[in-house]
């Protein structure tokens, strides 16, 4: 594989994932020389057709910017090879889990060294998931957004990776699954009553009361990180 890019970032918005990968990506890369050689001009961020407004922000960081409808087979098939693929807070935006799985597989196929997913937590368990909040009549804001038609779970992602490895490719890899950020208390503005309006971005008292005296026995995960590092 001769990668066309150092980093391909799916759903780039402001290019923050590429910024962060270039800052801390060596925590996952075995090839430290590669990390030192990552260059903005060899990175590209992809966005949906309605997001042309992000172009100047991304290009001002010296990254490339590409518009593509990644809910089409043609656009997915045209994705380039890269050293690293990123999909941070992206898969929940695609139409359904079938498309999310296709994109996971394409990223795995096209990446030489690393595929790095970050997922807002849609987990409903009562240990450290949204299920804890729902026991108190609350939820995360992002679980009821029109822009999030696909509640892509940790198990969806790891199953897609395992299926790809078993049925499509024989590449060996290391898999890392861990929380990347937490909510520590009910005061967090991204916790709202279950019946708060669709597309609510943060808590407002008009949404109803919050049980601020509730203390979590352990922090609730708000974001998961899943990383595939090829051997």
Q: Measure Cα distances from 27 to 60, 155, 225, 226, 229 in Å.
A: 27, 23, 13, 13, 11
Q: What is the mean pLDDT of residues 144-160?
A: 98
179 part of a folded domain: yes
201 part of a folded domain: no
Owning domain of residue 114: 5-122+149-183+223-230
E-state strands within the chain? 5-10, 43-47, 64-67, 82-88, 111-120, 138-140, 173-185, 191-193, 215-230
Task: Using pLDDT thresholds of 50, 70 and 90, give the confidence band for residue 73.
Answer: very high
pLDDT one-digit tens code per residue, 105-143: 999 999 999 999 999 999 999 999 999 999 999 999 999
Counted domains in the chain: 1
102 part of a folded domain: yes
Q: What is the CATH number of the domain that holds 73?
A: 3.40.50.150
Task: Using pLDDT thresholds of 50, 70 and 90, give the confidence band for residue 1.
Answer: confident
pLDDT one-digit tens code per residue, 162-200: 999 999 998 999 999 999 999 999 999 999 999 999 999
pLDDT one-digit tens code per residue, 13-57: 999 999 999 999 999 998 888 888 999 999 999 999 999 999 999
For residue 149, the model assigns a pLDDT of 98
Long-range contacts at 182-187 (CB < 8 A, ≥ 24 apart): 182/219, 182/220, 182/221, 182/222, 183/216, 183/219, 183/220, 183/221, 183/222, 184/216, 184/219, 184/220, 185/212, 185/214, 185/215, 185/216, 186/136, 186/138, 186/210, 186/211, 186/212, 186/213, 186/214, 187/212
171 part of a folded domain: yes
Q: Quick check: 140 and 201 in contact, CB under 8 A?
A: no
Q: What is the pTM of this model?
A: 0.96
């Amino acid at each position: 594989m001769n990668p066309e890019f150092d980093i391909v970032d799916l759903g780039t918005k402001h290019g923050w994932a590429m910024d962060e990968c270039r800052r801390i990506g060596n925590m996952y890369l075995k090839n430290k020389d590669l990390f030192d050689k990552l260059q903005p001009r060899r990175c590209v961020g992809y966005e949906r057709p309605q997001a042309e407004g992000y172009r100047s922000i991304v290009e001002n960081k010296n990254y490339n910017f590409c518009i593509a409808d990644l809910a089409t087979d043609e656009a997915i098939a045209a994705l380039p090879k890269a050293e690293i693929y990123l999909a941070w807070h992206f898969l929940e935006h695609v139409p359904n889990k079938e498309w999310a799985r296709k994109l996971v597989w394409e990223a795995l196929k096209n990446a030489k060294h690393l595929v790095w997913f970050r997922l807002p937590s849609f987990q409903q368990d009562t240990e450290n998931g949204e299920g804890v909040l729902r026991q108190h009549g609350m939820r995360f804001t992002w679980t009821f957004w029109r822009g999030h038609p696909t509640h892509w779970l940790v198990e969806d992602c790891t199953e897609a990776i395992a299926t790809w490895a078993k049925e499509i490719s024989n590449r060996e890899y290391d898999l890392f699954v861990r929380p990347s950020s937490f909510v520590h208390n009910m005061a967090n503005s991204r916790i709202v009553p279950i019946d708060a309006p669709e597309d609510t971005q943060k808590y407002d008292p008009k949404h109803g009361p919050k049980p601020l005296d509730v203390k979590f026995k352990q922090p609730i995960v708000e974001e998961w990180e899943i990383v595939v590092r090829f051997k």
